[in-house]
Amino acid sequence: MRPLSRVAPGWWDYTTLDRELLDDAARLTPDDLPGLARDGFTVTVYDTVEEFYLAEALEYIDAWRQATPESPAGVCGPIGPTEQLPLVARLVNALELDLTHAHFWGMDEWVVDGKEASIDFPLGFAKADMDLCFNRVKPGLRMPEANLHFPAADPSTYIASWDAARCVVMQGGQGEVKHWAFNDPPKREGAYVDAPPPAEEIRKLTTRVVDLHPMTLIQNARTSGGGVVQNVPHQAVTVGPAETWRAETVSIWHPGHHDNPFGMRLTALMISKRVVDTAVPMSLLAQHPNVRFSFLRSGIGTCTVDMH
């Protein structure tokens, strides 16, 4: 039987992995990371903050430029990192890019009392997308409201929207529990007390309401709410692996403040070596045909002990 999680015994997570794999990840240096690239897995390290967020913003522009009346196209985008979103709006305005045939799918949203968070919820993801990006686009260039797709507690309309256009890129970050969107590790219960679910079972999941791992609650309180964990909902609706595999490219951005130096190394190593374990949701991307990891060099950090 695998060990219990060191942080949440009722859940699966990366602390239940084999110690040898964890140690191998901790030994990776920043210079080792580009060497993890393989066919279907690209690793890029950016030297400056400006390059990093500009490159992230340009993924939106590159995707939306491909949108035509005959072949609408879009982006599934994150709420972490968000620093690229104002840049996206500035680029659209400067390039006078008409978004009439472009689409956007939000990755996730909080669920409060069984209902998706309203547009005025302070921690809301749709609110952040609109405030930081879409409301900053010039009125004559804006995407039609019907082309903005945000997940709801009843996800049926959102799931159907994936038939409206092709998703050129799904872009996101990585949480401390090694998720993309809110695809957190599963609970350790039922048939999965001794081992986590197989990858093929998780891959079938569509957009749905999920319970959030305790590490996710703490992370979101830390990164978005000044640590006030009581304000962070314990459920969310999140884009599923089924929709993720409809994206032509999955692009993960590591600025260094969402996950820690060890976590960024671990998932890069697992995807590179095709080590898939559903206790580490991000490792499922080893089975996707086109994945990109982008690192900010100053955020890669070190896994050596530094007492202070």
User: Which pLDDT tens digit goes with each residue over 233-289?
Assistant: 999 999 999 999 999 999 999 999 889 999 999 999 999 999 999 999 999 999 999
Supply the pLDDT for residue 1: 78
* Strand 108-112, strand 115-116: pairing: antiparallel
Cα angle 137-138-143, degrees, rounded to a multiple of 5: 60
Look at residue 139 and give its three-state secondary structure.
helix
What confidence tens digit (pLDDT) does each residue in 30-47 have?
999 999 999 999 999 999
> Domains in the chain, start-ordered, CATH in brackets?
14-299 (3.40.50.1360)
Strand order across the beta sheet in which 41-46 lies: 41-46, 291-296, 249-254, 166-172, 73-77, 102-106, 148-149
Q: Tell me the β-bridge partners of 248.
A: none
Per-residue model confidence as pLDDT tens digits over 212-226:
999 999 888 888 878
Query: Which pair of structure tokens corresponds to residue 23?
Result: 């140690």
Single-letter amino acid, residue 38: R
pLDDT confidence of residue 17: 97
Task: Give the span between the Cα atoms of 124 and 95, in whole angstroms.
Answer: 29
> pLDDT tens-digit profile of 9-20?
999 999 999 999
Classify residue 80 as left (phi > 0), alpha (psi -120 to 50) or beta.
left
The reported pTM is 0.95
Model pLDDT, residue 291: 98
Confidence of residue 158 (pLDDT cuts 50, 70, 90): very high
The predicted structure's pLDDT at residue 71: 98
Report the pLDDT value the prediction gives residue 225, as an integer from 0 to 100. Answer: 78
In this predicted structure, which of 30-34, 61-65, 80-84, 104-108 has the lowest mean pLDDT? 80-84
- Report whether 168 contacts 95 (CB < 8 A): no
Predicted local distance difference test score (pLDDT) of residue 78: 83
Confidence label for 151 from pLDDT (cuts 50, 70 and 90): very high
At 220 the pLDDT is 84
User: What span, in angstroms and rounded, lies between the C-alpha atoms of 222 and 226?
Assistant: 5
- Inter-CA distances, 56 with 62, 82, 218, 239, Å: 10, 10, 26, 20
Residue 231, pLDDT above cutoff 90 = no
